Amino acid sequence: MFKDLNPILHSQLRLAVISLLISVKEAEFTFLKEKTNATAGNLSVQIQKLKEAGYIDVIKQFKDNYPQTICKITPQGVNAFSEYVKSLQTYLGQK
Amino acid sequence: MDQQEKQLTEKESLELIATMINTAKNSYHDTGIGAIMWGALIAVCSLVKLAEMEFGFRLPFDINLIFILAVIPQIFITIKEKKERRVKSYADSYMDYIWLGFGICIILLTFIVYSMFSVWRPVSEEYRELTGHRSAFQLSEFISPFFLLLYGLPTFITGAACKFRPMFWGGLFCWLCSVTAIYTTIKIDLLLMAASAIMAWLIPGILMEREYRIYKKEQASPDV
């Protein structure tokens, strides 16, 4: 019996964001936007969903008088990502 | 990426994860400016010292004082690089501490060396007065290996951790020169110092700077 894939992560943009954040300590919103080629609005919505799920921390601050948003993955996010990858591997291995 | 939440197949998900992880890994490039500056500075200072000994002239100031002045541009370079950095890797924090620790070690070693010389010089002069010739043991001949040993450590760690081969080999080269310098005269030691600075920092720095420029150009060009 296959485990259900985590619906929060099983979406293109959210998975892309989590995959980027798993490899780094923290990243700016502009970096995530550039690497995912997403629009600012769509990215903000998906980041908010990840934040609500407790998978990422979002820090809003000012840098040189400009607003700056920094995202970093939480331990809960790391666990969820790890579980998600395991489920994918199980699924693909038994397909 | 699509505005809509596109549902992925399992295979697509794994491919996306791999792509994004690789993208994140390749997204940070050091400007190489600091490495170029220190590599060039140490090489030039060592060669000037060598020229002073070889051709019997003396500059009106100690060339090594330039190192203290070079700390000022280094602080600006570090602040500028940190400001431009939009992503922070796990390795970045460790690297910052390793190079800070290296800087502290160099300052402490310089202090230790000066303290040793202040004790050694009167003993050496007394020996010369009593015997009429210089002591066969010259403390200055054994200073370079310690500095070269230190030069190698952060360079080797950075090269290995960041998978940047030129620095990895540069670090090993410093250690090789460190051992060699035990058996060579001070003039050769200075040549080894210059060679180490070029191999460990100047050349890797130039390569880093070139990679950084290519990366910046790629970032600036619009996607087709």
User: Does any domain span residue A5?
Assistant: no
Best to test chain B binding among A15, A43, A63, A78 (most B CBs inside 10 Å): A15
Residue whose structure tokens are 């600036």: B220
In a domain, A4, yes or no: no
Residues in chain B closer than 8 A to A28 (CB atoms): 86-87
pLDDT band with cut points at 50, 70 and 90 for residue B64: confident
- For chain A positions 18-37, those within 8 Å of chain B (CB to CB) are 19-20, 22-28, 30-31, 34-37
Task: Give how far A69 is from chain B: nearest CA, Å.
Answer: 10
Whether chain B has a CB inside 8 Å of the CB on A38: the answer is yes
Provide the domain count of chain A.
Answer: 1
Bridge partners of B50, per DSSP, are none
Structure letter (DSSP) for residue B201: I
A1 located within any domain:
no
Q: Judge whether B83 is closer than 8 Å to chain A, CB to CB.
A: yes
CA A14 – CA B16 distance, rounded (Å): 11
Asked if residue A65 belongs to a domain, the reply is yes
Spatial separation of the C-alpha atoms in residues A4 and A80, rounded to whole Å: 12
Output the pTM of the full model.
0.80
B214 touching chain A per CB within 8 A? no
Query: Is A7 part of a structural domain of the chain?
Result: no
Q: Shortest CA distance to A18 belongs to which of A27, B162, B3?
A: A27
Q: Is position A48 within any domain?
A: yes
Task: Say how many C-beta atoms besides its own lie within 10 A of residue B204's C-beta.
Answer: 27
Token couple for B48: 């000037």
Q: Is residue A6 part of a domain?
A: no
* pLDDT tens-digit series, residues A48-85: 999 999 999 999 988 778 888 999 999 999 999 999 99
Look up the ipTM and state it: 0.86
Range of the structural domain that residue A67 is part of: 12-94
What rounded mean pLDDT belongs to chain A? 89
A19 belongs to a structural domain: yes
Q: Chain B contact for A10, CB < 8 A? A: yes
Q: Which of B20, B86, B31 is nearest to A35 (CA)?
A: B20
Identity of the residue in B7, B20, B92 whose CB atom sits nearest the CB atom of A19: B20
Q: What percent of chain A has pLDDT over 90?
A: 62
Report the CATH number at residue A33: 1.10.10.10
Q: Identify the closest residue of chain B to A33 by CA–CA distance.
A: B1
